[in-house]
Chains A and B, each alone.
Chain A
Amino acid sequence: MNGQALITARNLSVSFGSTVAVKNVSFTVRAGSCLALVGESGSGKSVTARSLLGLSGGTATADALEVCGQDALSLSERSWQQIRGSSVSMILQDALMALDPLRPVGREIGDALKAHGKLPRAERQQRVIQVLESVRMPEPERRARQRSTELSGGMRQRALIAQALAGNPQVVIADEATTALDSALTALVLAQLRELKEQGRGVLMISHDLAQVAHLADDIAVMRQGEIVEAGVAAQILGNPQHEYTRQLLRAVPSGVPRFVPLSAASRPLAAPMQKDPAPASSALSANGLSKSFGKHAAVESASFEVPRGKTLGIVGESGSGKTTTARMVLGLQPPDAGTVELLGERFAPAHEPQRRKLREQMGAIYQNPLGSFDPRYSVGQLLADALSRGKSKRAAEYRVPVTELLEQVELSLGLLDRNPRELSGGQRQRLAIARALAPKPSVLVLDEPVSALDASIQATVLDLLDRIQVETGTSYLFISHDLSVIEHMSDNVAVMHQGKIIEQGATAQVFAAPQQEYTKLLLSAMPRLR
Chain B
Amino acid sequence: MSRTAKILSIAFIALWALIALAPSVLAPGDPLAVNPAEAFQAPGTTHFFGTDESGRDIYTRVIHGARDSLAIGLAATALGMGLAIVLGTVAALSPRWLDEIILRVLEALYAIPSLLMALLIIAFTGPGVGPAIVAVGLSTAPGYARLVRSQIRTLKSSEMLEAATVLGRGTWLRVRNHLVPNALKPLLALVTLGIGQAVIWAAALSFLGLGTPPPAPEWGAMLSAGRTYLHLAWWMSLFPGLAIVFVAAGATLIGRALGGKARTT
- Chain A interface (Cβ < 8 Å from any Cβ of B): 331-333, 353-354, 357-358, 360-361, 363-365, 367, 369, 372-377, 386-387, 390-391, 394, 436, 440
Contacts and interface: CB of A to CB of B under 8 A. Distances in A.
Interface string B56-75: 00000000000000000000
Contact of A391 (B158, B169, B182): B169
B159 A372 contact: yes
Contacts of A376: 160, 182
Contacts of B162: 331, 333, 365, 373
Nearest to A386: B177
B163 A357 contact: no
A373 B182 contact: no
20 contacts: A331-B162, A332-B166, A353-B171, A357-B168, A360-B165, A360-B166, A360-B167, A361-B167, A363-B166, A364-B166, A367-B159, A367-B163, A373-B159, A375-B182, A376-B182, A377-B182, A387-B167, A390-B167, A390-B168, A390-B169
A387 B171 CA distance: 16
A138 to B, nearest CB: 34
Nearest to A394: B177
A444 to B, nearest CB: 11
Nearest to A328: B162
Contact of B158 (A360, A372, A387): A372
A354 B168 CA distance: 9
A222 to B, nearest CB: 36
B164 A391 contact: yes
Interface of B: 158-160, 162-171, 173, 177-178, 181-182, 185
A213 to B, nearest CB: 33
A358 to B, nearest CB: 8
B59 to A, nearest CB: 41
Given A360-B166, A363-B166, A391 B177 contact: yes
Contacts of B163: 365, 367, 373-374
Contacts of A364: 166-167
Contacts of B165: 332-333, 353, 360
B196 to A, nearest CB: 25
Contacts of B173: 391
B216 to A, nearest CB: 40
B164 to A, nearest CB: 7
A439 to B, nearest CB: 8
Contact of B177 (A361, A365, A372, A375): A375
B181 A377 contact: yes
Nearest to B165: A333
B219 to A, nearest CB: 35
A440 B181 contact: no
A377 B177 CA distance: 10
Contact of B185 (A369, A372, A377, A387): A377
B160 A372 contact: yes
Contacts of A361: 167-168
B166 A365 contact: yes
A333 B166 contact: yes
Contacts of B159: 367, 369, 372-373
B167 A440 contact: yes
Q: Which 5 A-B pairs have the closest CB atoms?
A: A360-B168, A373-B163, A372-B159, A391-B173, A373-B159
Nearest to B179: A375
* Most A CB within 10 A of own CB, among B160, B163, B165: B163
Contacts of B181: 375, 377
Contacts of B158: 372
Nearest to B170: A357
A375 B160 contact: yes
Nearest to B181: A377
B24 to A, nearest CB: 39
A375 B178 contact: yes
Nearest to B173: A391
Contacts of B166: 331-333, 360, 363-365
A422 to B, nearest CB: 12
Contacts of A375: 160, 177-178, 181-182
Contacts of A373: 159-160, 162-163
Nearest to A333: B162
B178 to A, nearest CB: 5
Nearest to B171: A353
Nearest to B174: A391
A174 B160 CA distance: 35
A440 B182 contact: no
Nearest to A356: B168
A288 to B, nearest CB: 21
B160 A374 contact: yes
* Most B CB within 10 A of own CB, among A364, A373, A394, A440: A373
A353 B170 CA distance: 8
A331 B167 CA distance: 10
A331 B164 CA distance: 12
A374 B164 CA distance: 9
A341 to B, nearest CB: 13
A372 B160 CA distance: 6
Contacts of A353: 165, 171
A372 B177 CA distance: 16
